[in-house]
Amino acid sequence: MDPKFQGEGMRTAVPQGFADTVEPMRKAHEHLLAALQERGIGVEEYPCLPRGAPEGVAAARAYPIQGILKYHGLADWRWRTAYLPSISVNNDAAYTITLVEFSPALAADEVWINGQMAQGRERERVIQLLDLVRRMAKVSSRARVFSKNVVRGGKAGKGLGTSASASAALAMAALAAVFGPQMAQNKRLLSCTARLLAGSGARSAVGGVALWLSYPGVPHEESFAVRLDERGQLSDLRLLTVPLDSRIGLKTEVAHRDAPKSSLFKCWMYGREAEVLECLEAVQQGDWRTVAQLAELDSIRLHGITMSGSRENKVFAWEPENILLFRLCNELRAEGVPVYFSTDTGPTTVFLTHWENEEHVVQAIDSLGLGVEVIRGRIAGPATLVEVSQAREELNL
């Protein structure tokens, strides 16, 4: 690795007011790494990178995430590290396909998302990731990026997690374009790179039920994700996605800035180690119900933290439909049908249940008369490379 890059990335920023959290969260980080080792879950080394090629093209596909143990707020906005570790599950209700082409002939980067040229903050976040790849590869070539979100239904809604799939697909395609396909398969490098566009992209990159390790001041190469269900332990789990739009035009980055100001935030941080260990054990045992219970509980806490981060402008991320959907879970459980809800930053709701209950839950959602769509899904895998010709066809290039 470029020593200059490594020196910059050795330690990320600690936000004002959070110096007291560094040592306990660092110790929790070490405990979680030890727990992974004890359970035989491998952690790849961060690779020593060769000089990259100034010209190359590659394409990749990745899946959105649904939070189990959520994260909110960014400890370091440049490196997009989190205050606490988090767990999510990849959801095959949608995917992102991205093509990246580096060329010395380009005068400037071009970014196209869903057929539109990206502008403003959306473009800046893509360029930030490309700049990291260029610095690691010691190349200066500009790039063309074409990316498209594909939903197995009518709309994506707000809170489906496509920013995560977009960052994972972009990272894999960019790494493969300059370093070749083999280097892009290193999950630690891939997840660290994907994190630069959206933090949750670290988990989307590795697939399945994934743990993203992070804490205030964490070194860049220590803030990565690992897959927990390597043996398909939760293959019976079904994800039923109900896409909902945000009527307030919710922006996730606004919620990220407010959340750490909540008086509930540090308590949330300090309780995370124990819950990650509980979730890890549940995944290892194939206990989908405990995983789903944690997802529902943390959805409620996440919303409470989002609402309480500002005294003046409260961020209410849920819509009226959410209350009816949440109450439905209680009603179904009272009838003996185990089903749990999960929401991230936005109203889109994912129901987690066993495959035997899928049809019953879908019918119950339909019976509410909300006119919402239900996308049936399963746990999706990691980011994967796609043939460039196939990607060009799908992207209509």
Task: Report the percent of the chain where pLDDT is more than 70.
Answer: 94
Q: Please check the confidence at residue 30 and state whether its pLDDT lies above 60.
A: yes
What is the CATH code for 3-394? Answer: 3.30.230.10
* Domain locations in the chain as residue ranges: 3-394
Q: How confident is the model at residue 124 (pLDDT cuts 50, 70, 90)?
A: very high
Residue carrying the six token digits 């690795």: 1
Task: Report the percent of the chain where pLDDT is more than 90.
Answer: 85
**Cα(276)–Cα(393) distance, integer angstroms:** 41
Residue carrying the six token digits 């994934």: 210
Quote the pTM value.
0.94
**Dihedral-angle region of residue 187 (phi above 0 means left; psi in -120 to 50 means alpha; beta otherwise):** alpha
**Cα(49)–Cα(188) distance, integer angstroms:** 13
Q: Which residues of 19-39 are buried (b: 16+ CB within 10 A; e: fewer)?
A: eebeeebeebbeebeebbeee
Per-residue pLDDT reduced to its tens digit, 152-161: 766 555 546 6
